């Protein structure tokens, strides 16, 4: 920069003496509008040295002066904006003297000038954007070498529109500091060398920042962000400080979609032609950290304190009050955006339980229409005519399917982030957080309360399908077991003397896992009932069935081409189909295994059954690997041979769900069982399954012998005699019994005094 080319440059500091005499002048209007727009005050020639450009009026206000032949001596020509700023009246007498800005020995050349602009008159307001880069060039050209003061008012004509301006702030160039930096860095400037000031002279090199004035509707394009504004993201922010584990990927995606555009200057964002994301929706199972994420986002931002409101709190019994509650949430953001424009800070509004107030419009049973009005009001505030660019709406729900579709479109809650169950690495993070920082546990690890045998890695492996809240519950339950070991024997509230030595050990955590099961886990109790007698391999065919079942499990686990595999296990009644299906499911060791059986739906209506089946499938999509066992399908669809009768609604739901592909990175194995395969053929249901497995009955005496050996009903001598009697009765070609029924016969014979005779006679009579 060539600072010496400005007025008073180089030798200016040597001129220290102010003019001795003062003039008294009368304040009058400028002779023309052109002079009023120039920001000069006018005086007649011959009153002041022509080289003096600046005047000090009433020993307080500094103006840039121009001499004009049309002015009379003793008159100071001023514009209306100049009189308003200096609080002058027409015909008022004021003192005028030349002003040398270098008399005080301070730097005066402007590095940055911040100007608040708006329309001078309401009649000239327009909706088009004003390019701040073009405005900067025009302002610099029009007011070059003029002196400005913070708070000064003026008029700036830009492309035929008069704009009112107020000097909001400024920085001046520290010439001495800039000179030292230049010398030290080989003529290469490494900094601005600027400092705050109250008055300065505009140069060609000065940077001019335009911001929207309060109460103005002007729209500025490419406005520079002030260097004094705080960055959006705190410099000392760390994810670990939030106490949230297992959500690194989700946080990265949220930052990329919702905040990345906000840390760049508005001018760059406008060149890209993109708008900031105004809303994001967090959805997923309960306890996965949706509310915690929303609350903690405020800690990572230099933004206004987030407003957190629960959905039901918005609703009111009074007419119009619910809509008013929504408007109040946006009032602060509207007021700040109106006054500061793009310089406004970010306002975050968090809606918990969003599905309570934003259900699909027209879906409510009442006639009040309050819910629909709330949705309409929210849409108007987020994406209406007067759009706000300083808001971020965060909605949370467990039921994304219930949210009105209009809210989920671009410009509204456009970023949909599923907060799912944590993986093993995420569970380890959560366990570390809850054993290190949570105050309820007195910082277990740091205070040596966590026993050395506790393996958080093993616990992370054992807590498949646990949510973050459930893992927290496990840690609390484990600590309760530790407390119970240190209570006095025979008392409830007494504390043992060795309480100072209390430690939470691995056995406490294992007991806690039994006490706190995951909501989205394995229905182990129900499935174990199905295989309580275990699988008896009465023929090689049974072993082949289990081997094939393992292949289907491996296919689901490893194949990327078949995210859903369905298997129909069919055969006669009592052949052990349910036990085989349950065994295949349990041996898969998938984190999510559920049983859908007619026994759990006794008394349910048709619609309730469909809802329950659909819920199981939706829950399975939340786990990366899942198995669903549908037992006795013909009973699920209410089929009976008399009539015949069946529920077409349940049948259609099953057909859709069996063929439905799970979401990305989710895999599902469906195992169905039926005794009436021919009925399923007529319903076109067998075509919905990818594969079928037939489970036979026992048709050989060798098979009966194997079952007898497994159950130990007879001694070896008794068993051989029993098989001999059956052979003599020519049962080899007549026997056809399901393994389940054979087990019933064996247990009945066990109660008789003559077990052999009872067993043989019963088997022959079947």
The answer to whether the CB of 150 falls within 8 A of the CB of 144 is no
Question: Per 3-state DSSP, what percentage of the chain is helix, strand, and coil (rounded to 5)?
Answer: 40, 20, 40
Helix orientation angle between 577-588 and 540-558, rounded to the nearest 10 degrees: 40
**624-677: pLDDT as tens digits:** 889 999 999 999 999 988 877 899 999 999 999 999 999 888 899 999 999 999
CA distance 425 to 457: 9
Q: How far apart are the first and last CA of the chain?
A: 110
CA 457 – CA 435 distance, rounded (Å): 13
Instruction: Specify the length of the chain in residues.
Output: 766
Bridge partners of 172, per DSSP, are 110, 195
User: How far lies 57's CA from each of 43, 45, 706, 732, in Å?
Assistant: 13, 17, 117, 126
Q: In angstroms, rounded to a whole number, what is the distance separating the alpha carbons of residues 472 and 442?
A: 14
> Can you read off the two tokens belonging to residue 395?
């909605």
Percent of the chain's residues with pLDDT above 90: 25
Nearest to 7 by CA among 116, 90, 109, 81: 109
- The CA distance from 494 to 509, in Å, is 23
Report the relative pairing of strands 93-98 and 54-57 from DSSP bridges.
antiparallel
Contact call for residues 472 and 440 (beta carbons, < 8 A):
no
The bridge status of strand 61-67 relative to strand 54-57 is: antiparallel
Nearest one of 108, 120, 158 to 6, comparing CA atoms = 108
Would you place residue 13 in the very low, low, confident or very high pLDDT band (cuts 50, 70, 90)? very low
* Main-chain dihedrals φ then ψ at residue 645, nearest 5 degrees: -130, 145
* 447, burial (CB in 10 Å: exposed 0-12, middle 13-18, buried 19+): exposed
Residue 64 near residue 112, CB atoms below 8 Å? no
pLDDT surpasses 70 at 490: no
In tens, the pLDDT along 498-543 reads 556 678 888 888 888 888 888 777 777 777 777 777 788 888 888 8
Mind listing the pLDDT tens digit for each residue in 449-463? 777 788 888 888 888
Q: What pLDDT sits at residue 193?
A: 60
Residue 479 pLDDT > 70, yes or no? Answer: yes
Q: How far apart are CA 189 and CA 186, in angstroms?
A: 8
> Cα–Cα distance between 166 and 712 in angstroms, integer?
100
Q: Residue 11: which pLDDT band, with cuts at 50, 70 and 90?
A: very low
Both tokens of residue 143?
């007011």
Q: What is the DSSP letter of 44?
A: -
- Residue 408 phi, psi dihedral angles, 5° rounding: -95, 5
User: Which pairs count as long-range contacts for 123-126, CB under 8 Å and 24+ apart, including other chains?
Assistant: 124/161, 124/162, 125/217, 125/218, 126/161
725: pLDDT strictly greater than 80 = yes
Q: How confident is the model at residue 65 (pLDDT cuts 50, 70, 90)?
A: very high
Minimum mean pLDDT among 75-79, 82-86, 401-405: which range? 401-405
Please spell the DSSP secondary structure of 721-744, one letter per residue: HHHHHHHHTT-TTT--B-HHHHHH
The dihedral sign for the CA sequence 352, 357, 363, 364: positive
Query: What is the C-alpha separation between 647 and 637, in angstroms, rounded?
Result: 5
Q: Where are the alpha helices (DSSP H) in 120-174?
A: 132-142
pLDDT digits (tens, 9 = 90+) for 212-264: 887 787 888 776 655 444 555 554 555 555 556 667 777 777 777 777 777 77
Angle of CA points 285, 425, 257, to nearest 5°: 60
Q: What is the pLDDT of residue 3?
A: 39
Whole-number pLDDT of residue 237? 54
**C-alpha to C-alpha distance for 279 and 244, rounded to whole angstroms:** 21
The average pLDDT across 45-67 equals 88
CB atoms within 10 A of CB 168: 18
Distances (CA, A) of 85 to 37, 82, 120, 362: 15, 5, 15, 57
Distance CA 511, CA 477 (A): 8
User: Considering only 79-93, 256-270, 391-405, which range has the smallest mean pLDDT?
Assistant: 256-270
């Amino acid at each position: 920069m060539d600072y010496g080319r400005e007025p008073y440059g180089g030798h200016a500091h040597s001129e220290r003496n102010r003019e001795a005499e003062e003039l008294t002048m009368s304040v009058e209007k400028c002779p023309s509008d052109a002079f009023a727009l120039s920001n000069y005050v006018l005086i007649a020639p011959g009153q002041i040295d022509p080289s003096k450009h600046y005047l000090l009026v009433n020993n307080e206000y500094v103006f840039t002066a121009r001499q004009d032949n049309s002015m009379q001596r003793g008159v100071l020509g001023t514009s209306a904006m100049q009189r308003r700023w200096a609080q002058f009246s027409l015909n008022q007498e004021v003192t005028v003297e030349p002003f040398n800005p270098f008399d005080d020995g301070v730097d005066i050349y402007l590095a940055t000038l911040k100007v608040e602009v708006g329309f001078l008159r309401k009649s000239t307001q327009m909706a088009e954007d004003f390019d701040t880069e073009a405005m900067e060039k025009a302002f610099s050209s029009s007011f070059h070498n003029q002196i400005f003061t913070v708070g000064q008012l003026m008029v700036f004509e830009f492309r035929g529109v008069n704009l009112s301006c107020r000097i909001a702030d400024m920085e001046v160039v520290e010439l001495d500091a800039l000179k030292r930096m230049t010398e030290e860095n080989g003529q290469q400037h490494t900094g601005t060398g600027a400092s705050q000031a109250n008055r300065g002279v505009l140069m060609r090199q000065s940077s001019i920042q335009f911001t929207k004035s309060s109460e103005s509707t002007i729209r500025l394009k490419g406005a520079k962000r002030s260097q004094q504004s705080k960055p959006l993201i705190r410099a000392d922010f760390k994810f670990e400080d939030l106490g949230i584990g297992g959500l690194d990927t989700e946080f990265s995606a949220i930052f990329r979609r919702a905040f990345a555009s906000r840390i760049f200057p508005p001018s760059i964002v406008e060149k890209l032609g993109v708008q900031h994301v105004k809303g994001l929706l967090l959805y997923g199972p309960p306890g996965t950290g949706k509310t915690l994420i929303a609350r903690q986002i405020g800690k990572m931002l230099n933004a206004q304190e987030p407003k957190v409101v629960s959905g039901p709190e918005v609703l009111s019994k009074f007419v119009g009050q619910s809509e008013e509650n929504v408007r109040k949430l946006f009032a602060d953001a509207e007021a700040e955006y109106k006054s500061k424009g793009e310089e406004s800070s970010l306002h975050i509004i968090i809606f918990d339980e969003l599905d309570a107030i934003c259900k699909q419009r027209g879906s409510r049973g009442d006639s009040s229409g309050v819910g629909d009005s709330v949705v309409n009001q929210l849409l108007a505030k987020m994406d209406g005519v007067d759009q706000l660019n300083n808001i971020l709406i965060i909605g949370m729900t467990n039921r994304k399917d219930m949210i009105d579709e209009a809210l989920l479109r671009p410009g509204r809650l456009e970023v949909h982030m599923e907060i799912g169950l944590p993986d093993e690495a995420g569970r380890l993070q959560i366990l570390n957080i809850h054993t290190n920082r949570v105050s309820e546990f007195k910082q277990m690890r740091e205070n040596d309360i966590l026993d050395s045998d506790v393996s958080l890695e093993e616990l992370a492996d054992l807590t498949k399908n646990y949510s973050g809240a459930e893992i927290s519950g496990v840690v609390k339950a484990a600590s309760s077991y530790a407390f119970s070991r240190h209570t006095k024997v025979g008392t409830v509230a007494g504390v043992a003397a060795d309480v100072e030595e209390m430690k939470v050990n691995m056995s406490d955590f294992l007991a806690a896992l039994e006490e706190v099961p995951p909501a989205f886990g394995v229905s182990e109790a129900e499935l174990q009932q199905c295989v309580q007698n275990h699988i008896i391999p009465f023929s090689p065919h049974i072993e082949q069935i289990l081997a094939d079942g393992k292949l289907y499990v491996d296919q689901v686990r490893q194949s990327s081409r078949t995210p859903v595999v369905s298997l129909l296990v069919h055969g006669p009644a009592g052949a052990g189909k349910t036990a085989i299906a349950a065994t295949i499911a349990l041996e898969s060791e998938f984190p999510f295994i559920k049983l859908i059986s007619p026994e759990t739906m006794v008394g349910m209506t048709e619609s309730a059954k469909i809802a329950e089946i659909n819920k199981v499938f939706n829950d399975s999509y939340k786990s990366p690997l899942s198995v669903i066992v549908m037992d006795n399908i013909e009973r699920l669809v209410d089929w009976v041979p008399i009539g015949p009768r069946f529920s077409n609604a349940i049948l259609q739901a099953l057909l859709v769900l069996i063929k439905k592909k799970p979401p990305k990175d989710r895999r599902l194995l469906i195992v169905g069982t039926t005794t009436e395969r021919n009925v399923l053929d007529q319903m076109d249901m067998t075509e919905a399954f990818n594969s079928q497995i037939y489970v036979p009955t026992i048709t050989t005496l060798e098979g009966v012998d194997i079952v007898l050996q497994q159950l130990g009903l007879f001694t070896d001598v008794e068993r051989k005699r029993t098989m001999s009697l059956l052979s003599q009765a020519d049962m080899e070609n007549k026997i056809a019994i399901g393994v389940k029924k054979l087990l019933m016969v064996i247990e009945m014979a066990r109660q008789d005094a003559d077990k052999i005779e009872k067993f043989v006679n019963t088997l022959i009579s079947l």
